[in-house]
Amino acid sequence: MASMIAVNLEPDRLRVGSRGSINRMVEKVQQEKYTSQYAGNDVFEDNRSRNTSNAAQTGSTLLEQGQSAVDDARVSSTSALPSAPICRQFWKAGNYSDAHGSRVNLQSGKTYLHVHPMFLHSNATSHTWAFGAIAELLDNAIDEIQNGATFVMVDKISNPRDGSSALLIQDDGGGMDPEAIRRCISFGFSDKKSSEAIGQYGNGFKTSSMRLGADVIVFTRHMEERSATQSIGLLSYSFLMRMGHDRIIVPMVDYEFNTDIGKFGISRRHTNESFQANLSLLLQWSPYSSETELLKQFDDVGLHGTKVVIYNLWYNDDGNLELDFNKDPQDICIEGDTRKVESLPAWRTVKEQHIANRLHYSLRAYMSILYLRIPETFCIKLRGQVVMPHNLADDLKFPEYILYKPQAGGLREVNVITTIGFVKDAPHVNIHGFNIYHKNRLIKPFMQAVNLTNTRSRGVVGILEANYIQPTHSKQDFERTSIFQKLEVRLKEMAWEYWDYHCGLIGYHVTKKVRAVSSPSDPPAMSNRTFPTVGTEQAASPGLGVKRKEHSNSVTPDAVRKLPRLGEGVAVTSASSSSRHISQQQQNAVAVLMQDNQKLKADLFEYEMRKEELNLQVIKLTRELEEENAEYDRLMAELTLLDDMKLENQRVNIVM
């Protein structure tokens, strides 16, 4: 096992003495540019091992005092560059050799596990889809809504060194302090304590950024009550590969706001030599060749926020950029992934343009359905244009709501409501499947629970939020647990059940009719399982969308079939009467119920959004109150000073 020296990074933060000081600091940030006189930082090394039992017990990184970062950086900078350039195709970029690189010998006699640079690439292979990697970076911004974030933007920028395309992801959340950015770029840490947070493994930034490009640089600014910091960190697979390192090294510099001079200056946490070593690596391997250019990237960050720039983007097997920025100036596409579908000529374009197909190659389409709910105070921007949220339930006709109560040992009681219906263009468009969300985030779009061997379930689409099952690390699938497998079985039954009783609404022959009486000799339709009540005309009252949540789950399949379905006749008293057709009056009643459903859904969504909006307003007002208190303290200090000057002038006049 390889050995290494880790660097101890102990913070020595600059503290501001009063609220008035931080208020003056805010004014300076808004009005002045930043100083170019800085001191030091250390080369941060990610040496956490996933197999280190001690780290698993303590939950902390193994950082000990050792060889100085300056010496380590000098070893790296003097290593000979390999003659072969780094491969720009992601799936072929894993051929890594550290034979010509530098290794640091132990001086303290201590041995630690560390992460090899090869892990950056192998870890990123969990993302087979580039948009899935972008979604993980968006998740970080969405989780910052609780810290006051109002936007996240995704855009293309140019690498100032060579003019190549780079990917920009920026938000105005709380930003990261020096310790937080180190936890972000290292492995196995997660600050997501909220049960509503999407991320939880502390691994998403590394996997997603390395999946999109070989290198990423992070600019972040963070404010606390008595201090303000800004940090720059570089995670570069190109640097590690070309230098042949046998461990991950992350150049990083930090700055603190100095209230004495009213500008950002060097952080007190490190020496000037280590700072210069880190800065030298940043300038050599980042897109920015001077410290002035680096600091200029904070100009549009504001008082707090984070900017991520991913460059040296990966190419596909055809030698083209995997992300296509040219096809649509308001979109980012996956090059060559436009899907051609089989359909009648009259409907082919409709199906190709359906969001179920476009989401695979259009980032704008994918982002529009990525989150189930977004507060009105927050927006997602793609290439300068706001992404309008798309509610998949609005695309359904003849919708119903099915309550599912999963049963599993040790699982607390949960209710999962599935909205199910026919896609608007059914049966002409063969699109079907379930869109499964987890904690507001889309994990499985249009998951095909049913393999279509005939027309059964054609056009049936469902939407549900299942927070009780666990997504995989890539957040593009769920762990194949028994609980998830039970959900798959239930979704298949839902699709078949809905089709069997509603296919007549889209022109197919209804194969199953309502049975009013179930004789003892009739076999159960689906074993002896119990199923949740399906929302129907008689099962619903004027409070249709709410009342269905209150029904018992212990309803047998035969009992379900005694209830009339949307598009079928009313309850009957004999098996022979089940063949009656829908009367005009019944069709009108169905239409009224469907309108009531839509209205109740809209009201519920409005109430939820209003609740989130009010919570954000509370946070905003709290911050404004703190700012007003700071202003009050400043004015009181000035008033006291004026009083003192007035008294002094009076004394002078008396003496004279």
Measured between alpha carbons, how far is 572 from 585 in angstroms, rounded to an integer? 16
* Residue 421, H or E segment: strand 416-423
81-95, 379-393, 415-429: which has the highest mean pLDDT?
Answer: 379-393
Measured between alpha carbons, how far is 127 from 140 in angstroms, rounded to an integer? 17
- Nearest to 168, CA basis, from 325, 289, 379, 375: 325
Tell me what the mean pLDDT of segment 210-238 comes to.
93
Tell me what the mean pLDDT of segment 343-350 comes to.
58
Higher local confidence (pLDDT), 489 or 54: 489
Q: 408-440 pLDDT, tens per residue?
A: 666 667 889 999 999 998 888 889 999 999 999
Higher local confidence (pLDDT), 603 or 367: 367
Integer-rounded Cα radius of gyration of the chain: 30
DSSP per residue, 213-280? EEEEEEEEEEE-SS-EEEEEEEEEHHHHHHHT-SSEEE-EEEEEEETTTTEEEE-TTB-HHHHHHHHH
94 three-state secondary structure: coil
- 515 and 578 in contact (C-beta within 8 Å)? yes
- 411 and 479 in contact (C-beta within 8 Å)? no
Place 346 in a pLDDT band, splitting at 50, 70 and 90. low
Measured between alpha carbons, how far is 400 from 24 in angstroms, rounded to an integer? 58
Q: Which amino acid is at 199?
A: G
Asked if the model's pLDDT at residue 578 lies above 60, the reply is no
Q: 260-273 pLDDT, tens per residue?
A: 788 888 888 878 89
Tell me what the mean pLDDT of segment 80-103 comes to.
61
Place 588 in a pLDDT band, splitting at 50, 70 and 90. low
What's the confidence (pLDDT) of residue 348? 61
Partners of 249 in beta bridges:
45
300 alpha-carbon distance from chain centroid: 22
β-strand pairing of 213-223 with 228-236 = antiparallel
Q: Which amino acid is at 17?
A: G
Asked if the model's pLDDT at residue 635 lies above 50, the reply is yes
Place 582 in a pLDDT band, splitting at 50, 70 and 90. very low
Residue 647 φ then ψ, to 5°: -65, -40
* Residue 649, H or E segment: helix 584-655
Q: Which amino acid is at 538?
A: Q
Place 192 in a pLDDT band, splitting at 50, 70 and 90. low
Structure tokens at 273: 């030599």
- 231 and 249 in contact (C-beta within 8 Å)? no
Asked if the model's pLDDT at residue 68 lies above 90, the reply is no
Asked if the model's pLDDT at residue 328 lies above 70, the reply is yes
Query: Mean pLDDT score of the chain, rounded to an integer?
Result: 75
Place 246 in a pLDDT band, splitting at 50, 70 and 90. confident
Q: Which residues have C-beta within 8 Å of that of residue 599, sequence separation ≥ 6?
A: none
Asked if the model's pLDDT at residue 138 lies above 90, the reply is yes
Higher local confidence (pLDDT), 474 or 549: 474
What's the confidence (pLDDT) of residue 48? 34
What's the confidence (pLDDT) of residue 493? 95
Q: 8-30 pLDDT, tens per residue?
A: 333 333 333 444 444 444 444 44
Helix axes 19-31, 584-655, angle to 10 degrees: 110
Task: Flag whether the pTM goes above 0.85.
Answer: no
15-24, 64-73, 382-391: which has the highest mean pLDDT?
Answer: 382-391
Helix axes 204-212, 178-185, angle to 10 degrees: 60
Tell me what the mean pLDDT of segment 287-314 comes to.
95
Give CA torsion, residues 113, 114, 120, 123, to 10 deg: 20
Higher local confidence (pLDDT), 217 or 405: 217
Q: 139-158 pLDDT, tens per residue?
A: 999 999 999 999 999 999 99
Q: 461-501 pLDDT, tens per residue?
A: 999 999 999 999 899 999 999 999 999 999 999 999 999 99
Structure tokens at 633: 């303290």
